């Protein structure tokens, strides 16, 4: 599923009404918000039907993200034909994010179907057509930087499972990651010095994300150096607010402060279980996440098979802060 906000007020406004009656009385935006709520509550079939109602009643207002999210709801409802109808519409609308299509777990059940390859080829064609409009020299360079940034990181879990986190092999693997990060930073700083923070209209979404990844993986001093540039880019639409939020979280924790958006997790030194690093005002984290285009924290944590219980987290927060304080000798 693409990123979405959690509209709790809308839920209480419309609770108790049937989906059909609601659909006839609501605007496109209200229907899409309710469809999103149904997705969050795992009522995937109802979500897909609400998306369908919105598309049928308001064809001139349909957005690419909504088509994509509808495909996810139908796929999770095991209504593959309806999901592929939405994906075909996406292809015709020029959708080009092949990476998202290939990795989204919501679409996993579709990938074995015979229709999948045709959809994938069509969206790959959109991607190549879109990429032809970008700065080709920078595009090739950023593609190579992205691969270098990711190749060893993708192997990290396998190395940990094979050798363990305290072994020589694991530590040497991190040396490879840091060496690649150093080379990538030199290249990205040269791009930023010459061009500033380039938006997706110049280097594509993947290239734009690569700039962020390299800065995110740099030292705290480098992160702080480029944060104002990235914030300014976000204000003019050349960087994602969600990426800025992630960088701010990293900087806050690196300086011994609580994070704001809950994007940073770690393994507990005693239990070995993942936990959310110290977080400011846990009760309202989803509101802050929605404001920068991030989905609910529970959805984010599910990637690590974690559950979000805000009351339990608040009870454990003092012990999490003690770990952070010890790191800074406080």
Q: Within a domain: residue 195?
A: yes
Q: What is the predicted pLDDT for the residue at 23?
A: 44
Last residue of a domain, one of 85, 100, 131: 131
Q: Name the percent of the chain lying above pLDDT 90.
A: 78
Q: What is the pLDDT of residues 76-130, one digit of tens each?
A: 999 999 999 999 999 999 999 888 899 899 999 999 999 999 999 999 999 999 8
**Mean pLDDT in residue range 256-273:** 94
Local structure of residue 279 (DSSP, 8 states) = B
State the pLDDT at residue 24: 52
Residue 79 burial (10 A CB sphere; 0-12, 13-18, 19+): middle
Burial of 164: CB neighbours in 10 Å, binned 0-12, 13-18, 19+: exposed
How does 225-251 read in b/e, with b if 16+ C-beta sit within 10 Å? ebbebbeebbeeebbbebbbbbbbbbb
Give a yes or no: residue 249 inside a domain: no
Residue 190 within any structural domain of the chain: yes
Residue 148 confidence (pLDDT): 96
Q: Are residues 109 and 36 in the same domain?
A: yes
Is residue 1 in a domain? no
Residues 38 and 94 in one domain: yes
For 300-314, write each residue's pLDDT tens digit. Answer: 998 888 999 999 999
Which residue do the tokens 């969600």 mark? Answer: 242
Token pair 């209209």: residue: 201
From 75, 64, 34, select the one nearest 51 (Cα to Cα).
34
Same domain flag for 15 and 86: yes
Per-chain mean pLDDT for the chain: 90
Assess whether 235 and 144 both reside in one domain.
Answer: yes
Could you read off the pLDDT of 55-85 as tens digits, one per residue?
999 999 999 999 999 999 999 999 999 999 9
Q: Answer whether residue 16 shows pLDDT above 60.
A: no
pLDDT at site 263: 96
- Of the candidates 101, 131, 161, which is a domain's last residue? 131
Q: Are residues 109 and 147 in the same domain?
A: no
63 with 143, same domain?
no
Closest by CA position to 27, among listed 54, 63, 64: 54
Q: Looking at residue 12, what is its pLDDT? A: 35
246 within domain boundaries: no
Q: Residue 120: which CATH number?
A: 1.25.40
Query: What average pLDDT does range 43-62 have in this prediction?
Result: 95
Q: Give which of 211, 205, 213, 204 is closest to 154, Cα–Cα.
A: 213
Tally of domains within the chain: 3
Residue 186 has pLDDT above 50, yes or no: yes
Let me know whether 106 and 196 are in one domain.
no
Structural domain contains residue 138: yes
pLDDT the model gives residue 326 = 92
Q: What percent of the chain has pLDDT over 70?
A: 92
Residue 106: its H or E element: none
pLDDT tens-digit profile of 162-183?
A: 999 899 999 999 999 999 999 9
pLDDT at 2: 60
Can you tell me the distance from the alpha carbon of 240 to that of 291, in angstroms, rounded to the nearest whole number? 12
Q: Are residues 38 and 79 in the same domain?
A: yes
| Residue 163 maps to a domain | yes
Domain that holds residue 321: 256-330
Cβ-based neighbours of 58, under 8 Å, separated by 6 or more: 27, 28, 31
Q: Is the pLDDT of residue 291 over 70?
A: yes
Last residue of a domain, one of 116, 131, 146: 131
């Amino acid at each position: 599923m693409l990123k979405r906000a959690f509209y709790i007020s809308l839920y209480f406004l419309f609770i108790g009404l049937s989906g059909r009656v609601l659909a006839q009385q609501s605007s496109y935006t209200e229907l899409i918000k309710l469809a999103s709520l149904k997705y969050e509550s795992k009522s995937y079939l109802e979500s897909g039907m609400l998306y369908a109602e919105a598309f049928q009643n308001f064809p001139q207002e349909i957005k690419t993200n909504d088509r994509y999210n509808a495909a996810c709801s139908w796929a999770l409802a095991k209504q593959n034909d309806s999901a592929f109808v939405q994906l075909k519409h996406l292809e015709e609308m020029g959708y080009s994010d092949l990476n998202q299509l290939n990795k989204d777990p919501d679409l996993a059940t579709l990938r074995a179907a015979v229709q999948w390859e045709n959809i994938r080829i069509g969206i790959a064609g959109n991607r190549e057509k879109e990429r032809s409009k970008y700065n080709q020299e920078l595009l090739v360079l950023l593609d190579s930087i992205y691969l270098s940034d990711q190749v060893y990181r993708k192997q990290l879990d396998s190395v940990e499972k094979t050798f363990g986190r305290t072994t020589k092999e694991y530590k040497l693997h991190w040396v490879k990651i840091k060496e690649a990060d150093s080379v990538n930073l030199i290249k990205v700083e040269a791009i930023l010095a010459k061009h500033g923070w380039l938006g997706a209209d110049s280097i594509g979404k993947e290239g734009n994300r690569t700039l962020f990844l390299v800065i995110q993986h740099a030292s705290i001093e480098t992160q702080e150096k480029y944060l104002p540039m990235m914030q300014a880019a976000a204000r003019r639409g050349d960087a994602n607010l969600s990426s800025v939020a992630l960088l701010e979280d990293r900087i806050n924790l690196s300086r011994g402060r609580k994070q704001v958006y809950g994007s940073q997790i770690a393994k507990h030194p005693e239990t070995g279980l993942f936990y959310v690093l110290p977080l400011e005002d846990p009760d309202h984290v989803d509101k802050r996440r929605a404001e920068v285009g991030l989905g609910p924290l529970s959805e984010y944590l599910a990637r690590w098979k974690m559950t979000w219980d805000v009351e339990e987290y608040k009870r454990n927060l003092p012990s999490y802060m003690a770990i952070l304080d010890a790191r800074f000798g406080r």
